[in-house]
């Protein structure tokens, strides 16, 4: 397993070692002992989530606040997404900065997202299966977020605006300025 630091402290891209042969391929997607040693943190994931989406779906930018804040480990099983995080930790030197990377069923990369980050993804291929682990349970009362097209964040989602499909909830999210 290879761990690559991003420019956002505590956020890592993780690439598994893939074993290919004439039968196909195999890789270990998660090993708690190896994972914790590589990132230098103890993590207790308590919930796994999965979504299936078509090209153009955009989910985010979301966050759980307070006691329900979540650390996540995200990956794509099938298809392709642009995964985006924004550092909203008040005392961070990269507050308001974003990082994005393509996660796909082909590259098998994962993104480790610590507490204090907005998170979202745009779906770049039909029938994309997106999966993630969380270290805390979801709480509707603790959810918050920022509009995907906030001009202050200026995120390129790798989709044309007319392609983008949002949930009603995501259409009502606040601007980054109001979120701060």
Known catalytic residues?
62, 132
Q: How far is the C-alpha of 176 from the C-alpha of 87, rounded, in Å?
A: 11
The string over 61-86, giving b where at least 16 C-beta atoms fall within 10 Å of a residue's C-beta and e elsewhere, is bbbbeeebbbbbbbbbeebbbbbbbb
Q: How far is the C-alpha of 148 from the C-alpha of 174, rounded, in Å?
A: 9
Tokens of 180: 């701060």
Task: Indicate the SS3 state at residue 13.
Answer: strand
Among 110, 80, 116, 111, CA closest to 97: 116
Question: Could you give the dihedral angle defined by the CA atoms of residues 17, 12, 73 and 104, in that order, rounded to the nearest 10 degrees?
Answer: -60
């Amino acid at each position: 397993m290879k761990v690559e630091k991003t420019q956002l402290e505590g956020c890592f891209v993780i690439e598994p070692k893939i074993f290919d042969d004439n039968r196909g391929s195999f890789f270990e997607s998660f090993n708690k002992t190896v994972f914790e040693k590589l990132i230098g943190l103890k993590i207790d994931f308590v919930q796994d989530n999965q979504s299936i989406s078509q090209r153009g779906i955009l989910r985010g930018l979301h966050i759980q606040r307070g006691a329900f804040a979540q650390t996540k480990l995200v990956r794509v099983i099938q298809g392709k997404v642009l995964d985006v995080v924004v550092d909203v930790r008040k005392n961070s030197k990269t507050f308001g900065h974003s990082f994005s990377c393509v996660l796909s069923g082909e590259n098998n990369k994962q993104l480790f997202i610590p507490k204090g980050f907005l998170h979202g993804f745009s779906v770049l291929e039909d029938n994309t299966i997106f999966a993630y682990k969380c270290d805390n349970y979801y709480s509707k009362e603790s959810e918050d977020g920022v509009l995907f097209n906030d001009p202050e964040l200026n995120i390129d989602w790798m989709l044309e605006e007319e392609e983008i499909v949002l949930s009603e909830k995501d259409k009502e999210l606040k601007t980054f300025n109001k979120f701060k």
